[in-house]
Amino acid sequence: MNKLKIASLFAGCGGTDIGFLGGFSFLNNNYKKHPTELIFANDNDPRVCDIFDDNFQLKVIRKDINKVQAKEIPDHDILTAGFPCQSFSIVAQNPLRLGVKDPKGELFFEVCKVLKDKQPLCFVAENVKGILSVNNGLTFPLIMKSFRDCGYHLVHILLNAYHYGIPQRRERVFIVGFKRPEYLDLFCPPPPVNKQKNLKANPMK
């Protein structure tokens, strides 16, 4: 079986990429390796880049995302992107919660740039819960429309890290996009490991 190729934007320490690759143990559960291969990763925070490089064979490209050209990124099947959350977070009020009125809040457009050029089979984008309400609730529909305009059919879901064995109540919005709309019906959110909550995704075809 040919491996699915993954490109990672705003890679951070690589947590999302570990999930896609598999082959790790967590809470006494062993997760098998997936037929995937990480072929590109980008971030520009030297601290997280050091951690990434210590844990992956692939070395992260240390470069401002605004200066990354789509042609520099190899063709891939899956794009991951945990774009910056500071402009959306309800906790971080200094600076103010400006949403897309802040340069960091516009960085999801860099994800769109790659999607339009590379057209991977699917993508996963992640951000804080506050993205749903920032700018009087106007930002999230704009982001979803921008992803749809790249040619994707979308589903989004709000997950709490606490339900997956993390000792923190961190809520995160995951946006999943597919090139083929029939895959929306096959998408199943991961079941909570502590069995405390049933989850339902929110399709936006």
Q: pLDDT, tens digit, for every residue of 167-200?
A: 888 889 999 999 999 998 889 888 888 755 555 5
- Domain hosting 126: range is 4-204
Question: DSSP label at 168?
Answer: S
Q: Which amino acid is at 140?
A: F
Question: DSSP label at 51?
Answer: H
CA dihedral of 16, 76, 142, 163, whole degrees rounded to 10: -20
* pLDDT digits 0-9 by tens, 73-112: 999 999 999 887 766 566 655 455 555 556 566 788 899 9
| Model pLDDT, residue 117 | 96
| Model pLDDT, residue 191 | 84
* pLDDT digits 0-9 by tens, 109-142: 899 999 999 999 999 999 888 888 887 788 889 8
Residue 85 is among the residues annotated as catalytic for this protein: yes
| Model pLDDT, residue 205 | 46
Please determine, for residue 166, whether its predicted confidence score (pLDDT) is greater than 90. Answer: no
123, 152 contact by CB (below 8 A): yes
The number of distinct structural domains making up the chain is: 1
Return the CATH number at 46: 3.40.50.150
Say if pTM beats, i.e. exceeds, 0.75. yes
- Among 179, 149, 146, 4, which residue's Cα sits nearest to residue 75? 4
| Model pLDDT, residue 194 | 74
Distance between start and end Cα atoms, the chain: 30
What pLDDT band is residue 148 in, cutting at 50, 70 and 90?
A: very high
* pLDDT digits 0-9 by tens, 20-59: 999 999 888 899 999 999 999 999 999 999 999 999 999 9
CA distances from 124 to 20, 30, 58, 96, 121 (A): 10, 23, 20, 27, 11
| Model pLDDT, residue 156 | 94
Burial label, 144 (beta-carbon count in 10 A; 0-12, 13-18, 19+): middle
| Model pLDDT, residue 198 | 53
* pLDDT digits 0-9 by tens, 151-161: 999 999 999 98
Query: And the tokens for 51?
Result: 């951690």
Burial 25-48 (b: 16+ CB within 10 A, else e): eeeeeeeeeeebbbbbbbbbeeeb
Q: Where are the alpha helices (DSSP H) in the chain?
A: 15-21, 46-55, 108-118, 139-149
| Model pLDDT, residue 1 | 66
From the candidates 13, 49, 85, 150, which is the catalytic residue?
85
177, 122 contact by CB (below 8 A): yes
